[in-house]
Structure 1
Amino acid sequence: MESLIDKFFSRTSNLDYVTQNIKKISIDTEVDKLFNAINSYSDESELRYVGGCIRKIINKEKIDDIDLATNLTPDDVSQALKKNNINFYETGIEHGTITAVINNQKFEITSLRKDVVTDGRHAKIEFSKDWKEDASRRDFSINSIYSDKEGNLFDPYEGRKDILAGKIKFIGDAEKRIKEDYLRILRYVRFFLKYSKNKHDPRILKKIKINLEGIKNLSSERLLDELRKIIRSNGLEHISKDKESAELLRLIFPQILKMNSFEKLNEISKKIYLEADFSFLLAVMIIDKTDNADYFMYKFNISKKDQKRIKYLDNFYKSKVNKNTFTEKNLVKKLYFDGKESVLDILNFKILTNKKIDQNIIDLKNMLANKDLPKFPIETKNLMQEYDLVEGKTLGKKLKLLEEFWVNNDFNISKDQINRIVRN
């Protein structure tokens, strides 16, 4: 059993680490300008770090976004920023959020709030001056931690303690929190997969399942965004060990057929997984021999760009593979017609979905990644002049025949071969 002395030094060590790294934000970013602008606006005005950045520092993770909270109203925040010549935009002002921009760094500043009316999707809010009141409307204790720029924590719901203990705890009554915004069901899954060191509380699971129908009232965009965060937080790496989270995800996203795709990856597959973006990883999980991927893309309103990418992989997955499919000659052809990104997607898909290491596929990928795209050597203008051709169907047909011959001849074509094709 851990001694009291060990516990004391563990707590002290973590607090020192947190304080040092919160102070370090001022060194690594331009955030001090915001603290000076807000804190000097009036005798009572104050700016604090909040939410994800504090949670990640406590858990010794890399910070990607810096979220800030203030007891000023959005109008006063705007005035404070203008007074200090700090650029900003107000796209989230209806929710109390203003985004400040300093040297291309973005900082979201949100006024303290309290919920007046909630409907399971959105909340009607009023601005507040009370830090505890703002904390009380947040979802989990681990997201209700604030800090000044010196690293002094304001932690009314003991979120730091819960992070260190790997405990995901709703603030107040779990069912009330869920009914305020049903997306919190998915957020619970995300944070549980990421941080929990404990088993699910059966009372929380019961309340989640009772309210699962509320998910249907949420927009596909919000659901997809939360799924993106789950995948990018590496939350599915050990999903088979958490049957409860897996069940909830399957109920919400039944088209995700291969939820455990990212478990027990070999070293090479793991590297692909960690470097891949959301649309590629989504493709791995939803593509099968049916129209499952098409239905998911329709249901969740996937962007046209991502649809094109997923559909390309889906078509390849359904195509017949023969001994020539994964040869250098065939893949260089695909590289020319389909582009490097598409061909590398095919190879990464093959590597990631194959539990065994296929050195041939890996070698092909490395070769193609560094290969320049072949350039068709025949220019239309020169062909027209030399062979007295004019724009039209005949010219287009000749160019297509020349290109096909060039590609099938390993991207080589001689003058005699050009003459024979054009004059035929």
Structure 2
Amino acid sequence: MTADAIHRLSQADWLRTDGIQAVFSAIEQQGDEARVVGGAVRNTLLDHPVPDVDIATTATPETVTARALAAGLKPIGTGIDHGTVTVIAGGFPYEVTTLREDVETFGRQAKVVFGRNWTRDAERRDFTLNALYVDRHGSLHDPLGGLEDCLARRIRFIGDPDKRLQEDYLRILRFFRIYAAYGAGDMDAEGLGACLRQRDGLRHLSAERIGHEMRRLLKAPLAGPALRMMNDCGLWEIATGGLARVEDYDALRRLQPIADEVLDPELGLVVLAGFVREDLERICDRFRLSNAERGRMRTAWAGLKRLRGMGQLPDAADMIYEFGRQGAIDGLLAHWAGLSAQGTAEDKDFGEFLAQLRQVSQPEFPLKGADLIAIGHTPGPTLGDLLKTLETTWRDSRFLLDREALLAQANKDA
């Protein structure tokens, strides 16, 4: 297994592109070295997709910038104060960061200097499986012995876990998120204990940072077990200000084979935290969610509420008309998950209704106020009331009445 993983790394497509090789060639001059580090190495070893590639180097940011320009590449000082320059090569962005080492450590405000020691740079990172490097030829460099942890899918802090967390309390959430994405077996007991001891540090994090990390966690394969442990340890309540329906969320994730929507954080949060509408508003505010995310959660909650209040599943077209296709599907999946957690869901009926929600056309009301004015109705509140009455009549007909039939009804009601 180890040999296969290392071979896969040495032959990785992203490592053999002209773009990344051009970045290596530009940087590696006058004794400087450059190596890919972190996620790209970890994901390749574990046979996961590689969305981006980060490079560590002994060259300073100013040197990286000058050499990239001289090589005809495009450097952007995206995080130059922290030693990072984004270099565009072959149309792909590479974040190039100078090796760093701590001089003094006091949380996120630690005093850091640029260095040339690969082991010191690795010691600053969070987990052993993220402290793996590969050079331009595909040779793996493992200064802290993280390869074994990586291949065993063991999420273990580098050095003293309490110290790592005190440097940045967001690493508490990252511990659970990385486990949810890459872990296997039981969580590392030492790391879990440190997260429990340092949990009050979550109260000092910004809403944006917590929300970003939690949304990523909810997309991960083992989100259910990770969230259950977070809830048991009291971390969910600190992060969200409320309780969690973990059983409902587990049931939601079991629907993934027929509904990819269960991986969407908005739906996951509705199922986890949607005891009442106010819970959703608290989560939206606490995580600083976008208007689009808030809108989807509110519509899903409204669809869920309607289904909860019915003794049977409604007409699919009517559900779509009221909540939109996405809102109708979200509401159904949330309702289905809740009943499944209680052992009362009729999976066949719900599955058939889900198929209908995906297939039926979205109805479009064929009348506008101008249509009624054109046949002699006077603009104003009475016109609006008539339009609403006709819309109700149209919905009651299961959308069978056409424009002419509705206009005839309007004349009859005049």
**Interval of TM-score (by shorter of Structure 1 and Structure 2):** 0.7 to 0.9
Instruction: State the match for 2:246 in structure 1.
Output: 259
Q: Is the 8 A contact 1:87 1:101 kept in 2?
A: yes
Name 1:373's counterpart in structure 2: 362
- Correspondent of 1:120 among 101, 107, 120: 107
1:71-122 deviation digits (Å, cap 9, x = unpaired)? 2233333333333443454343333333344566433222222234544345
Structure 1 residue 159 displacement after superposition: 0.7
Per-residue deviation at 1:243?
Answer: 4.8
Q: Deviations over 1:264-298 (max 9, x none)?
A: 77864444367631111122111124743333333
In 2: Cα distance, 1:266 partner to 1:201 partner: 26
Residue 282 of structure 2: which of 295, 318, 337 is its match? 295
CA–CA separation in structure 2 for the residues paired with 1:126 and 1:57: 30
What is the distance in 2 between the residues matched to 1:64 and 1:248? 32
- 1:377-417 C-alpha deviation (Å, 9 max, x unpaired): 33555554x42567654554444444333333222235354
Contact 1:220 1:299 in 2 (8 A): yes
Q: Residue 247 of structure 1 aligns with which residue? A: 233
1:408 to 369, 385, 396: 396
Alignment map for 1:9-408 (pairs within 5 Å): 10-21=1-12, 24-27=13-16, 30-39=19-28, 42-87=29-74, 89-102=76-89, 105-193=92-180, 194-197=182-185, 200-202=188-190, 204-239=191-226, 243=229, 246-247=232-233, 249-250=235-236, 252-253=238-239, 255-263=242-250, 268-272=255-259, 276-289=263-276, 291-319=278-306, 321-323=309-311, 326-328=313-315, 331-355=316-340, 356-378=345-367, 381=370, 383-384=372-373, 386-388=374-376, 392-393=380-381, 395-408=383-396
- SS of the aligned residue for 1:68 comes to strand
Q: Which amino acid aligns with 1:191?
A: I
CA deviation profile, 1:18-49 (whole Å, cap 9, x unmatched):
3223xx2145784333333333xx32333321
Please give the alpha-carbon distance, in whole angstroms, between the structure 2 residues aligned to 1:280 and 1:419: 42
- Distance in 1, matches of 2:18 and 2:265, equals 27
Tell whether the 8 Å contact from 1:145 to 1:160 is kept in structure 2 after alignment: yes
RMSD: 3.2
Unaligned runs of 5+ in 1: 1-9
Deviation at residue 318 of structure 1 after TM alignment: 4.3
* CA displacement 1:302-351 (0-9 Å, x = unmatched): 33322222233334444552235x222xx423322432111111122233
Structure 1 pair 172–268 and aligned structure 2 pair: CA distance change class (3 A) = closer
Deviations 1:180-211 (A, max 9, x none): 11122222233345325456335x44443332
- The Cα shift of 1:152 comes to 0.8
Question: SS of 1:238's equivalent?
Answer: helix
Contact conserved, 1:289 with 1:317, CA < 8 A, in 2? Answer: no
Q: Is the Cα contact below 8 Å between 1:405 and 1:413 reproduced in 2?
A: no
- Preserved contact between residue 231 and residue 237 of structure 2 (Cα < 8 Å): no
Aligned partners of 2:406, 2:264: CA distance in 1, in Å? 44
Question: SS state of the match for residue 114, structure 1?
Answer: strand
Letter in 2 for 1:179: Q
Contact 2:249 2:271 in 1 (8 A): no
Task: Tell me if structure 1 keeps the 8 A contact 2:15–2:138.
Answer: no
- The answer for the alignment partner of 1:3 in structure 2 is none
SS class of match (1:120): coil
TM-score, structure 2 as length reference: 0.84
Preserved contact between residue 118 and residue 181 of structure 1 (Cα < 8 Å): no
Q: Structure 2: state its 5+ residue gaps.
A: none
Give the 3 Å change call, closer, same or farther, for CA 261–394 of structure 1 in structure 2. closer
Q: Structure 2 counterpart of 1:54, which letter?
A: V
The code of the aligned residue for 1:36 comes to S
CA distance in 1, matches of 2:16, 2:206: 39
Is the alpha carbon distance of 1:407 and 1:316 closer, same or farther for their aligned partners in structure 2, counting shifts above 3 Å?
closer
Residue 326 of structure 2 aligns to which amino acid in structure 1? E
